[in-house]
Amino acid sequence: MNDDEPIIVEESMASEVSTEADDNLRNMGVAIALCGILILFGGTTFAIWSVATEASSDYGDYSTSMKFGVQEAEIEFEGDGESDSETEDYDDAGDIEDFFNNLKIMLYVLVICGAALAYMGHSGEKMEFAPKVIAGAALVSVVILLYTFVVLPDAFEEETEFFEAADSDAGFYVNDDSDSDGVEITVKAMPSIGYFTAIVSLGLAGYLIKDRGITLKDITG
């Protein structure tokens, strides 16, 4: 009995270490999945992009803003002491609808990757696939960020000709001032909280890659 005790103690310690590592993976997986869920279903609170104009003249000041959530856009207007807002979905919005349909697919993949990591960390099963899933979450996050940065402004301009009408170049980040017939116009476009949430998911996946020393061989092997 005494001879077996060291072995039992060593196995118990190894189990505790494994459990701690799995808990870390579970927590990171939950956080990655949550990032995708917030962008998908957080409405315009987690909008991924926003566009705004401000016009000032002797006749008054006016402003409009558009926040692009994954499911719908919120449009706000202020002028003459009044304000109004409404939300619209992307049905029949052409290139914009296509963009968000594709983005939804990527976000669902991100949620699945996060959920898979959470399951592996919780159960300790299928851990051999963890490096591939972690790398997949990182890759999907990068694609989401680049795809939004490059495609969304052009899709928006294709459907609305907004930037052309404002005498500005289409872009993901814009801060232009112009003067037309005594009217000062400011056009702004910038990432919103949903975009930064995707950056968070990339950071979490990157942390796991670095923390676990995952190499290309672990991913492709």
Average confidence score pLDDT of the chain: 86
What is the full DSSP assignment across the chain?
Answer: -TTTHHHHHHHHHHHHHHHHHHHHHHHHHHHHHHHHHHHHHSGGGG-SEEEEEEEEETTEEEEEEEEE-SSEEEEEEEETTEEEEEEEE-TT-THHHHHHHHHHHHHHHHHHHHHHHHHHHHH--SGGGHHHHHHHHHHHHHHHHHHHHHHHHHHHHHHH-HHHHTT----SSEEEEEEETTEEEEEEEEE-HHHHHHHHHHHHHHHHHHHTT--HHHHH-
For residue 16, is it within any domain?
Answer: no
Question: What pLDDT sits at residue 179?
Answer: 74
Q: Where residue 173 falls among pLDDT bands split at 50, 70, 90?
A: very high
More confident residue, 3 or 155: 155
For 184-216, the pLDDT digits (tens) are 888 899 999 999 999 999 999 999 999 888 888
Q: Give percent of the chain above pLDDT 70.
A: 88
13: confidence class by pLDDT, cuts 50, 70, 90:
very low
**Residues 33-71 pLDDT 10s:** 999 999 999 999 999 999 998 888 767 778 889 999 999
Mean pLDDT of 96-111: 96
- Asked if the structure places residue 6 within a domain, the reply is no
Query: How many domains are there within the chain?
Result: 1
**Domain-embedded: residue 131:** yes
Q: Looking at the predicted structure, is the pLDDT value of residue 5 above 60?
A: no
Q: What is the mean pLDDT of residues 140-149?
A: 97
Q: What is the pTM of this model?
A: 0.84
Q: Which amino acid is at 101?
A: N
Asked, for residue 44, whether it belongs to a domain, the answer is: yes
